Structure 1
């Protein structure tokens, strides 16, 4: 890994941009913190401040009924100023992506060595990354755990990878689904294709021990594990708060009859969880792509998604820049995502503030947003499979594929 003047300029510029906005434009930061595209009931910094207020006065942070995050975050923000924390997380994520890109080697003949500084710059100056940081979305902690797990696995450091993944699971649960691709990354780093049984058992042991330790720390912080589990994990599993967001769950469960609610919650969760096994089995030779695709699917199908999830997906996606010539709908996907990004806030304003629209306005544009991401995910999946097929059958390179 190289670290030159360009890299220093990128990281210094990104840090300066964030700290300038935090300290010199506080009204902008406060405005972004309230936006539904950035803050969700499970990641809102305003809700975290409510929990911190109660915690500092010796009251359970879950008494108010609005705080649904891990209590360890209360300790972090009780010690460190928020601007420095969020800026540092972005820089740490970018550093992890740079390190991964600099050391990445893929089997595809189309693959060419990556410039880690460009990958880091694309992540740090992505508008979605900047908005997530300035909006103080606590999903950034989960993103940090995922990037650190991927980085450690690629360096064949299984204990560190499992510990990082356990931290992400402790915060928001869904990183649990990334355990299979992380095992594949570790196996690839050690020179094999699939992990051995001993490696899997050892990794799961590390994961379970780290997760139990993190959950157990709740006793030291709040003194009540049960309320934490109900308010954090139970909240995410049962989705009781239907505050509008950029996901697909809130509108559906607003309209569904209560008698069918539990059934469809199970269906939605099974739908999201089902991708992990299928992608891991089919693309076990491409663990980086499995990880990247799962991040994109989480950004579409999790109960409380935000642009922070999409920013991480866009951070990993350039690792597969070599498949761009094989994609078919890049322009359509980019256009749809840009279109919905601009109209989403406008439609929400028309509904909530201007009173000249209704919930269908905002939900329609979130459907378009999810459609754009789905097109991008599906198109990249096709490109990777096509690349794999051309490696196996070189005589078919460049020929059209038609479904009969």
Structure 2
């Protein structure tokens, strides 16, 4: 068991590192950190909006400020009361996030044990999740740069925490707050509803399907079919209720933003949502949309706009159908990766935040992955070479936008390959479970390679494939 002293010591070191870095944060002004900052999480833009608001100027008249009026009002008050204490609020937020991640690790392990998928966990998994987030250099730099994405990470962890506890009302409220920062987060309604549905039942609502996967020859009678229909009708009911509550609270938040905005108006919608949706800011970043819209002809931009917007809201449908009744936690994680991939203004801290949760599936899925070295090297190459190319392009004038865009493509491609390989490894592991191979533990430990039977040896139909 983890001693309280060791746990407190890890938190103290994390706080100390961030405190020291904030004391020398002026040195960070000599670097652009283009991979970590974007127009929608930059503290420079946020601070400019706060100053304009304090001088009675509407920050939504321009196109530099993109935070919602609730955040603007909150930080305006904080800037008035504790002007020198705002940086330390970011430290507190990250410490709270790490504590919630630690608690989420315990809840997720208990949640997935009920699904009889033979996950192998050790007692230090929650601690590993917390350490990966707390001591990740990119997350530490996010705190030092005062990026607003720190608050989005806290909101995501809070949503998952209340869903795992079965609190439908608070989960819908927190998810509606996330909508104010990312409209792509709307796809999280499905996995959140499925997690909540599990807690609304005394037994595992998906036990029938899991048992069928392990015993494909089992034939259900009419009573079982009726019960199954009732269960899935209950799933649809809770999805409808949760979605309705979430969008209702979101509408209330929009009304609150209307009344809190300078000279109450709806102009904040253009800065917070419309400009982000139509990608009007061509500031270079790790995404692939800025260059496409900057270089394409105007009559092609509508086509590219929907090519970048539609996939995120299409992929979630088949993924929800296939994995929703098997592992809602894994579905939630896949949707978070989808949101990061299709985010028009991505930041490096978002992907590193998601990688903090990977140890939950590392021991089970890594042996089944095909090419982790390939996209791992692609990911590292893109995040290390892109700042060099940025310097050569902007300051040395020996490169151009094509070089930097090449690194952006490499970064996005590595994320896509990681997600596809993650899904492949999950499916292959379930394939092994369905065949009831006895060497699963040896495969997880890397002691034995995967040897699947021939197609002719399979005598039954798989219910999930």
Which has the larger displacement, 162-171 or 191-200? 191-200
Partner of 2:451: 399
CA distance in structure 2 between the partners assigned to 1:401 and 1:212 by the alignment = 54
Partner of 1:158: 168
Deviations 1:49-90 (CA, angstroms, capped at 9, x unpaired): 111111112221212321012122222322343312221221
Deviations 1:239-297 (CA, angstroms, capped at 9, x unpaired): 10111000110111112110111222112100122222221111111111112122222
Partner of 1:204: 243
Q: Provide structure 1 residue ranges, at least 5 long, that are not aligned to the other structure.
A: none
Partner of 1:298: 339
Counterparts of 1:3-42 in structure 2, within 5 Å, are 4-22=4-22, 24-31=23-30, 34-42=32-40
CA distance in structure 1 between the partners assigned to 2:268 and 2:2 by the alignment = 43
Give TM-score, length-normalised by structure 1. 0.93
CA distance in structure 2 between the partners assigned to 1:378 and 1:153 by the alignment = 26
8 Å contact from structure 1 (residues 296, 313) kept in 2: yes
The yes-or-no answer on 1:312 pairing with 2:353 is yes
Deviations 1:308-331 (CA, angstroms, capped at 9, x unpaired): 221221122222122112112222
Deviations 1:18-73 (CA, angstroms, capped at 9, x unpaired): 12211x202234346x4221111122111111111111122212123210121222
> Is the alpha carbon distance of 1:268 and 1:68 closer, same or farther for their aligned partners in structure 2, counting shifts above 3 Å?
same
CA distance in structure 1 between the partners assigned to 2:96 and 2:265 by the alignment = 30
The alpha-carbon deviation at position 3 of structure 1 amounts to 6.9
What's the secondary structure of 2:62's corresponding residue? Answer: coil
> Is the alpha carbon distance of 1:113 and 1:189 closer, same or farther for their aligned partners in structure 2, counting shifts above 3 Å?
farther
Partner of 2:258: 219
Runs of 4+ in 1 over 4 A off after TM superposition: 400-403
Of structures 1 and 2, the one with the larger relative CO (CA 8 A, separation 6+) is 2
Which has the larger displacement, 232-241 or 291-300? 291-300
The yes-or-no answer on 1:239 pairing with 2:279 is yes
Select the structure of larger CA radius of gyration.
2
8 Å contact from structure 2 (residues 95, 134) kept in 1: yes
The yes-or-no answer on 1:356 pairing with 2:386 is no
CA distance in structure 1 between the partners assigned to 2:367 and 2:238 by the alignment = 37
> Is the alpha carbon distance of 1:211 and 1:393 closer, same or farther for their aligned partners in structure 2, counting shifts above 3 Å?
same
What's the secondary structure of 1:42's corresponding residue? Answer: coil
CA distance in structure 2 between the partners assigned to 1:324 and 1:373 by the alignment = 16
Give TM-score, length-normalised by structure 2. 0.81
1:172 is matched with which residue: 182, 189, 208? 182
